[in-house]
Structure 1
Amino acid sequence: MAWTDHLTRTTALACLGLLAAPAAQALDVKTGIAVIQDPQTTIETLNYVYVGKALTPNLSFGQAVYSAATGDGGGAFFWGYEAAYERALSDRLSVVGTAFLGGGGGASVVYGDGLMTRLGAGLSYALTDAFRAELGVSHLAVKDSDVGGTVISAGIAYSFGAPTPDAPARPVLRAVTPRATVISADDSTTRSGSAQPTLALAGAEVTFFGEGSGREVFVAADGAAKGGEGYMQLSAGLRQRWSLGPVDLFADAALGFGGGGDVDTGGGLLVMAGLGGAVSIDDRHAIELALGQTIAPDGAFSGTYASARITRTFGDGPDTNRHPQAWQFQSGFTYQIPNDTFRKAGSGRTASPILQESSVDMMLTDALYVTGNAQTVVSGDAGGYAIGLVGLGYQMALSPAWSIAVEGHIGAAGGGSVNANGGLIGSARIELDYALSDAVSLSLGVGQIRTLSGTGMAPTFVNLGVKIPFQTR
């Protein structure tokens, strides 16, 4: 799953959801802990993050990611769509119903399709105009596994809306940053007991301006390109910058969840802290270097990291002139048609996988764009199979309603008995889009994805989804 979630999962959750919502519409961001009452696997507790856009005053819809938090299941991730319905009982107290549908796996606990569902109900109490505390009970199930049962959850929610005297302002985007990281293990051992090799990670982060000069909030996702095929991590943190003219110094700290690839993160919790510097290239781009430490408090993994980042900024502050940026969000489902060497030898699995897919396109011109793509299995006897891609695309109008786009990607895949032969993959696709309105288009795509090292997976695929353009400043 190297490169998994590069400008995806976390970006789709924490960036696209926050940015795509029109300023006049509310947006909910939730995070918390879901405790499995009678765990039958090494996963005892899941952390969740949800970003939902208000469709009506009572109903919101968005995407959520669940990751193993306690126990010994670090590396299990489930990602998909979630809806939340809220009805007020009093000025501060509300009843909430939630429904989740997605997929994933990991931690060697999901062997079938990977489909996850969660239905729940609970109470929400308004602490302030923006913050709410939530407590709920739900039933969680992952198909063809023992993960799930009755779940008790507790969390916090924050509502963003149009900036008015009675409502909080939406977060202001500062930068989008692809990054490469190397983690040198500090005498760590893997889950299988061997010495932990050095990890090479590829990923991205999205930053928002925080309260106070030089402060920012960031969310990030990284996946292993070498040293731990299948390892990935999601994190969020705070950063303080000090400007010294063309050079910035900074310090940051983050919490996250990660695992997979035989990396022993225990239950999955990660703690990270670092120092670094940035040099401006022009008014929109900078190169950043950082050094720091990563520790899994509940596992054997710890290491010193070095990170290099290329930052694309959109303004010097939340109240300054902003660089406009056009984006496009795509989400849907992909059906893969396996080739003869799609599965690992001896797996005995022959089904065709269906994956949930989401993409983020950052427009460089009216036609050329950078794209990040993530896919997680929901059916097809490949629980844990996931794909992460980054690439370039070019779109052309055929008529006022019809357009065509071509894309090329590089990234990685892994899990679910799929023969990714080391993980490094390439992909190409062509998409035909029909505009239902200025706000949404239907998209039909075909293409092929294949391992770039020897023989292995090389499925053709068909994708059906929707595309939503939007702009930020």
Structure 2
Amino acid sequence: MTQKISFWGLGVWCLLGIAGAQAQTRPSDGARALPVSTRLGFETITLPGDEAMGLLGGSYLMEFAPGWLGGPAVYGGATGHRGGFFVGGAELAYRLPLASRVRLEVGLFAGGGGGGGAPVGGGLMLRPHLDLLWRLSGPADGPGVWAGLSASSVRFPNGEIRSNQAGLVMAVDGDFIYTLPSAVGKSSSIWGRGGMGFDRISISGAVGEPRGDGRQQRIGLAGFRLDHWLHPNVYWGMEAAGAAGGGAGGYAEILANLGFEQPIKGTPLAVGARTALGLGGGGAVPTDGGLLAKAGISISLHLSRDFFVSLEGGTVNAPQGAFRARYAQASIGWDLDHPSNAPAALGRLSPRSWIEGMEWNLALEHVDGAARKTGPDKSMQSVGLVLRRSLTELLYLTGQAHSAFNGDAGAYSVGLVGAGVQSPVFAGRWSVGAELLAGAAGGGGVDTEGGAVVQPMLRLNLDLGPQSRAHLGVGRIRALKGGLDSPVFELAWGLAFGVPAR
């Protein structure tokens, strides 16, 4: 059975990101509010043999022209018997208002993925859809909450899945607050959250010890998490992780979190607890339909104002399957924003408000001669989402997710995190850079064994305009234990933003 790992939890950062996290700004700041729509939907698709699989999907769409929206999207198996099925890609949609409280949306999703043994072929998935939505709350001319019905068709052109179905959809409209990249490094009087509204990111490694079934092996996981503070002690967020060791190469999980954290007065320590619910599977881990629940307690140590480390322990369970495990996790985190520093009213400037750089990229990759578990080496192509956040003018952090859509590797995905350096711009528009990435990969019959991979990359960058960027990358992806050791060629297009930080 073909299994996979998916780090399209990066897409899910966008999926349930705080779309309504709006910032009040002064016009002199040059701040802009880009309308966005965060969408969540559910439908049941039919696989060959009349097998039913519940498909949960989400997207984060930006309005780049009147009525036109686009952005990343991710779909995952939630019911049935295909736990570990994930597909990530991009969505394009057109919105047509029909009345003050009714609108029609037509869209097309295209992406790559698979898993859970589903007959996806090379992995390319197309999903045209038509949605009818009613406004549940919010002003007629502003952000609001919408719900309605969806009619869609799911197709894997080089696989065996062809399904037409109806479903449910919910959308939350909001604003993505940003400035032009030329403002990066400057002070600002923007006092609200910018960008997607998340406040911190954590990169983690975990060990899971299955219980009750001696046939299950210990699982090593690599992943990351994004949090948004709802209250000085309460947060919610998203996390994604995949197998990077042990006997479950191809396992992945994507979860939504709700947590509590209490600083210990007079110390740099904090204690906390959280629960999480989402999707997981692959790597022969018995999650059945794919639902996954997690609960844990933690202790954190702040090394500086913005950086911290934490230890966490708890349990994870698959309500529909036999998977039960204890886990221990270590994380290092970075505070992107400090909402407690925000002024109480507009007009009071935060003394630590400035603009940092962020870039979103849609990437196409060619992996040359990827080693397979059986049969000869074969090249494959993937589609990916690449996010970058600047630390300094020349140094940045990056998170990436790629899933195969061609090359007989439909269930293959890779998730990477790392750091990069970039030269100053020369000849008006050009720059060069280098990245060192590490993460987890697997599925599609690609020989990654335990799942851990490293990927160094060199990049040539071209500024196409105030926000538009093009990137050409060359590098190599190597599995630490498996046979994958192949050149990587990447072509990417991205949008750059300036986002406020405190």
TM over 0.5: yes
CA deviation vs aligned residue, 1:185-206 (integer Å, no higher than 9, x gap): 1214xxxxx6222222111011
Distance 1:305 1:278 in 2: 17
Between stretches 3-12 and 269-278, larger displacement belongs to 3-12
Q: Are positions 1:335 and 2:356 aligned together?
A: no
1:439 partnered with 2:459: no
Match of 1:118 in 2: 127
Displacement after TM superposition at 1:6 (Å): 8.4
Report the CA distance between 1:146 and its aligned residue: 3.3
TM-superposed CA distance for 1:305, in Å, is 2.1
Q: Is the partner of 1:353 in helix, strand or coil?
A: strand
Q: Which residue of 2 aligns with 1:35?
A: 44
Letter in 2 for 1:345: T
3-state SS of paired residue (1:317): helix
Q: 2:222·2:440 contact (CA, 8 Å) conserved in 1?
A: no
Q: Is the 8 A contact 2:120 2:161 kept in 1?
A: no
Task: Provide, for residues 201-220 of structure 1, a one-character-per-residue CA deviation record: whole Å limited to 9, x for no partner.
Answer: 1110111122x442212111
In the TM superposition, residue 230 of structure 1 has moved relative to its aligned partner by 0.5
What is the rounded CA distance, in whole Å, between the counterparts of 1:312 and 1:404 in structure 2?
Answer: 26
Deviates more, 1:153-162 or 1:400-409: 153-162
Counterpart for residue 392 of structure 1 = 419
Deviation of 1:343 (Å): 2.2
Task: Please name the residue that 1:143 is paired with.
Answer: 157
2:209 matches 1:187? no
Q: Which residue in the other structure is 1:405 paired with?
A: 433
* Superposed CA offset, 1:282-317 (max 9, x none): 211222222222111100101222222222112153
Alignment of 1:355-394 (within 5 A): 355-394=382-421
Q: What's 1:287 paired with?
A: 309
Q: Aligned residue for 1:448? A: 476
Superposition pairs of residues 72-471 of structure 1, within 5 angstroms: 72-110=81-119, 112-129=121-138, 130-161=144-175, 172-188=197-213, 195-210=215-230, 212-227=231-246, 228-245=248-265, 246-313=268-335, 314-317=337-340, 319=342, 321=350, 322=353, 324-338=355-369, 342-346=371-375, 351-396=378-423, 397-453=425-481, 456-471=483-498
Amino acid at match of 2:110: L
CA RMSD, Structure 1 to Structure 2 (Å): 2.8
**Distance of aligned partners of 1:421 and 1:17 in 2 relative to their CA distance in 1, 3 Å threshold:** farther
Alignment partners' CA distance in 2, 1:280 and 1:366: 24
Could you say if the C-alpha distance between residues 137 and 37 of structure 1 is closer, same or farther in structure 2, counting changes exceeding 3 Å?
Answer: farther
Q: Is the alpha carbon distance of 1:74 and 1:469 closer, same or farther for their aligned partners in structure 2, counting shifts above 3 Å?
A: same
Do the aligned partners of residues 16 and 398 (structure 1) sit closer, same or farther apart at CA in structure 2, a change above 3 Å counting? farther
Whole-Å separation in 1 of the counterparts to 2:121 and 2:233: 47
Q: Quick one: distance in 1 between partners of 2:301 and 2:374?
A: 49
SS at match of 2:379: coil
Whether the 8 Å CA contact 1:110–1:144 is kept in 2: the answer is: no
Deviations 1:229-259 (A, max 9, x none): 1001001122222233233222222211010
- Is this contact kept in 1: 2:19–2:197, CA < 8 A? no
For the Cα contact (< 8 Å) 2:201–2:333, is it kept in 1?
yes
Q: What number of residue pairs does the alignment pair up?
A: 458
Q: Deviations over 1:109-143 (max 9, x none)?
A: 13521000001112101000121112111111123
1:39-68, CA deviations, whole angstroms, 9 ceiling, x for partnerless residues?
Answer: 647551111111111123422101110000
Q: Residue 191 of structure 1 aligns with which residue?
A: none
2:458·2:474 contact (CA, 8 Å) conserved in 1?
A: yes
Cα displacement (A) at 1:351: 4.9
Please give the alpha-carbon distance, in whole angstroms, between the structure 1 residues aligned to 2:496 and 2:69.
Answer: 19
SS at match of 2:160: coil
Preserved contact between residue 447 and residue 460 of structure 1 (Cα < 8 Å):
yes
Amino acid at match of 1:443: H
**Distance change in 2, residues 1:253/1:424 (3 Å):** closer
Structure 1: runs of 5 or more not aligned: 189-193
CA distance in 1, matches of 2:229, 2:486: 42
- Checking the alignment, whether the CA contact within 8 Å between 2:68 and 2:95 is kept in structure 1 is yes
Does the residue aligned with 2:467 lie in a helix, a strand or coil?
coil
Write the distance in 2 (CA, Å) between the matches of 1:423 and 1:169.
36
Matched residue SS, 1:26: strand
Cα gap change, 1:176 to 1:462, in 2 (>3 Å): same
Secondary structure in 2 aligned to 1:428? strand
Letter in 2 for 1:219: M
Unaligned runs of 5+ in 2: 24-30, 139-143, 178-191, 344-349
